[in-house]
């Protein structure tokens, strides 16, 4: 059986990543009911307080399947971010990162800092050899903190992601430890590439 992954507290200049607690129930329910969260994630819809309570009970404990942090700024919950190892033979050396921002915290740069802390943990403490980010084609806002942290412009992969039973085209980008941790191109250049994918996608999000 795989060893459970601990949930360490990670601290940056503006945000702290910590285990979730029941005190996060209200804001977690708010962000799971937010239309943009429903559109771009696989959170069940409709979503109930009991679902949020069960979710917090599950992700607040160490698990072999993921590390899930609450993102805190000025003692307020502002989102969640996860690392999920990819199962395979031998030691797990790679995985993917996923996140969701509370609607009131969008546009404040909190996810850029949270992603940076998680990358450091994945490549440092966990010793992973690569980190994967994926999102539905069209979820431009999700890519921006990845762009700021050095993830290359993603590839558009047909029918990559299962979104509530429907296969949608997805964006896929990979970061390795020796790659630069800053943008490879301007945001205008990256955004233009994303818009091109959105224009040609057969199954956008």
Dihedrals phi, psi of 104, to nearest 5 degrees:
-75, -10
User: What would you report as the CA-atom Rg of the chain, rounded to the nearest whole angstrom?
Assistant: 17
The backbone torsions φ and ψ at residue 75, rounded to the nearest 5 degrees and listed phi first, read: 70, 10
Q: How far apart are CA 26 and CA 62, in angstroms?
A: 22
Residue 39, token pair as written in the block: 């559109």
Residue ranges of domains in the chain, CATH in brackets: 10-197 (3.40.630.30)
Residue 2 phi/psi, 5-degree rounding, is -70, 145
Complete DSSP assignment for 106-126: TTSSHHHHHHHHHHHHHHTTS
Cβ neighbours, 10 Å, residue 177: 14
pLDDT tens track, the chain, 205 positions: 578 999 999 999 999 999 999 999 999 999 999 999 999 999 999 999 999 999 999 999 999 999 999 999 999 999 999 999 986 555 668 999 999 999 999 999 999 999 999 999 999 999 999 999 999 999 999 999 999 999 999 999 999 999 999 999 999 999 999 999 999 999 999 999 999 999 999 998 8
Using omega within 30 degrees of 0 as the cis cutoff, is the peptide bond preceding 168 cis? no
pLDDT at 205: 82
């Amino acid at each position: 059986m795989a060893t459970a992954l601990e949930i360490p507290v990670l601290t940056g200049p503006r945000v702290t990543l910590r285990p979730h607690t029941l005190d996060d129930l209200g804001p977690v329910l708010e962000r799971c009911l937010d239309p943009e969260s429903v559109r771009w994630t696989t959170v069940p819809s409709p979503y109930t307080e009991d679902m949020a309570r069960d979710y917090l009970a599950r992700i607040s404990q160490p698990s072999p399947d993921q590390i899930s942090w609450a993102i805190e700024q000025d003692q307020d919950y502002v989102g969640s971010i996860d690392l999920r190892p990819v199962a395979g033979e031998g030691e797990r050396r790679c995985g993917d990162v996923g996140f969701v921002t509370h609607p009131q915290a969008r546009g404040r740069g909190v996810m850029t800092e949270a992603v940076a802390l998680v990358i450091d943990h994945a490549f440092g403490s966990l010793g992973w050899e690569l980190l994967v980010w994926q999102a539905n084609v069209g979820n431009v806002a999700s890519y921006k903190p990845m762009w700021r942290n050095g993830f290359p412009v993603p590839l558009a992969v047909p029918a990559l992601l299962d979104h509530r039973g429907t296969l949608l085209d997805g964006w896929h980008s990979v970061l390795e430890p020796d790659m630069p941790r800053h943008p490879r191109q301007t945001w205008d250049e990256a955004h233009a590439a994303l818009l091109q994918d959105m224009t040609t996608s057969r199954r956008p999000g």
